[in-house]
Structure 1
């Protein structure tokens, strides 16, 4: 008589508690090394985004002034209807509208940009320059305007408009330099 041997059950696949603990520890070490670099990357991307957004809206305002043959202003705005008049209020957003001698013409807002940056991110304009006004020939009225992009008091970028209306942006990474 032939005897059959019982078949063994295959070994269960999976990880032991020790293996899971070691894998978790390695993952935590890798994340602790990568997280600061990721935060710096996000900060650089936010600053670049703000520079490009400001530059494109300034170019739009200048072109609108030339095409419509009227003064066009770009100013910080919280509600999307009125200028806030605050040089440090650019971090909430801005509006572009036709003006005459710094007074809005009607209720027309050509463009409204709302911003939602994390706490600690701000955009400040030059002292005494809460807005920019483009003349019908494309020149910027008044002195040069400087918009500083700041993160937790550090200067991350700058957009400058000179009297001829030319827009220039710079990538920066300087500690301090962002007092309103």
Structure 2
């Protein structure tokens, strides 16, 4: 596994070692020991989530204000643009965002540590996204920053208007959102 820091060094793009042959391929999507050795991050994942979405579905920007979740995101079918926004008050990159294309083809994964809002948009006809979390989902702690916040100015690479949930349509502005101390 190769870990490459993004423009926000705490967010890492991970490239697993893939073993292709005439039958297809094999790769370890997660190995606790190799994750620690490669990233130095002592993670303990407690939940796996799996979502299926159609082209232009945009999910986010989500986070938990208490019991924040670290996320290890990958795509097993299709392609997405995955986005992480730093919402840590004491961070020099507060309000900055990074994005990476994750796909079944490139097999990249994105490590998003606690203290970040997370979202993605589907760039292919459909996509299945798998992600591990370091904390359980707690609905009463869940928060949402509006996907098109003018202060963040995220380039979502949209080819049409996004398809949003009711919750994502009414997310808070970044300047009004509860963020981490």
Fold match, TM over 0.5? Answer: no
Structure whose CA Rg is larger: 1
Q: Which is bigger in relative contact order (C-alpha 8 A, separation at least 6)?
A: 2
Q: Name the one with the larger helix percent.
A: 1
TM-score by length of structure 2 reads 0.25
TM-score by length of structure 1 reads 0.25
Q: Name the one with the larger strand percent.
A: 2
